[in-house]
Amino acid sequence: MKAKTAIGYLALVLSITAVATGAFIPFANPAALRSKETTQLLHSVAQQVLSNGITSDLNEYLASGSKPKDWLATVVLRQVESDGVYAIGQAVAASNPRLVGLNTQEVLDHLRSGLEEGESIESLQIPVLTPDGTPHWVAAYNTPRYYGYIGFAWTALFSSIIGAWLAIAAWVVMDVGELQKANVVAWALLSLMAGPVALGVWLISRPTSGKTEPVFCPSCGSTIPAEAAYCVRCGHPILALCPKCGRRVDLEWVYCGSCGTPLTEES
């Protein structure tokens, strides 16, 4: 019983852990592409361009601007082509002066040269017009990385799901074993395959009682423990045995139901 209770608490704790980490991951995703800080930075640069145009101090402004971790560069592109979402153009200002004068592809090639093998680049771009109406785009480039705690959260999520699944299966098997020993194997297989679903089915179909029916004292009517020999209230004898076969008999019986031996003097 203690083992089954411990397994039940373990399944509960692991289930709560899985739900908590599953809810945490979307909100803790550090992908800078969706960073509020980055969006604010791009709009700040766009406002500078819209108000002052492409000035000599724009590079310094880009270089000194707040930049989220993993963003590689912020660039102002003079538009050559655009599909309405991303633009192809030439860098007229950049947080890294080496990028000024390069076209979009050359900017990407330069940034990739500093990355490790397998790392990719993502970009976020917003359009802006200079005071003379020339179309430009402000682009920020990053390499999408996950910080250490996100990797830990994913590990915790999968580990807790698997652990909770196995703990639920173990609890169901132990509970079935107490109430329906003949069905343990079937329920074990169902629990391993269906986990929480099997738990729900078992709780719905679970026998309401694995214990004997309550025993009432024939003298005072009090409820007494099933194996008590005497009433705990009035002391009336509860258990009676046949003097010949030793089987349990009811106090009101005249003959033993197993061997027919008379149980009263009148008999």
pLDDT tens track for 224-239: 776 676 788 888 877 6
Cβ 241 vs Cβ 229: under 8 Å: no
In the chain, CATH 3.30.450 covers 30-142
- The residue type at 143: T
Please choose, from the candidates 172, 160, 175, the residue with its C-alpha nearest in 3D space to the C-alpha of residue 196. 172
Cβ 249 vs Cβ 263: under 8 Å: yes
59: Cβ–Cβ under 8 A, 6 or more apart, which residues?
93, 94, 95, 97, 100
**pLDDT tens over the chain, length 267 residues:** 578 888 888 888 999 998 888 877 666 555 544 566 777 888 888 998 999 999 888 888 888 765 555 578 889 999 998 887 778 899 999 988 899 999 999 999 998 888 877 778 888 889 999 999 999 999 988 876 555 566 677 788 899 999 999 999 999 988 888 777 667 888 889 889 988 898 888 888 887 654 555 677 878 888 877 667 678 888 887 767 787 887 777 767 788 888 888 877 554
Q: From the centroid of its chain, how far is CA 81?
A: 44
The H or E element that residue 32 is part of is: none
Instruction: Locate 190 and state its tokens.
Output: 């169902």
Angle between helices 148-179 and 196-205 (to 10 degrees): 30
From 3.30.450, 3.90.550, 1.25.40, 3.30.2310, which CATH number describes the 30-142 domain? Answer: 3.30.450
Any idea which residue has 């197993």 for tokens?
258
Phi-psi sector, 194: left (phi>0), alpha (psi -120 to 50), beta: alpha
Please choose, from the candidates 169, 209, 167, the residue with its C-alpha nearest in 3D space to the C-alpha of residue 185. 169
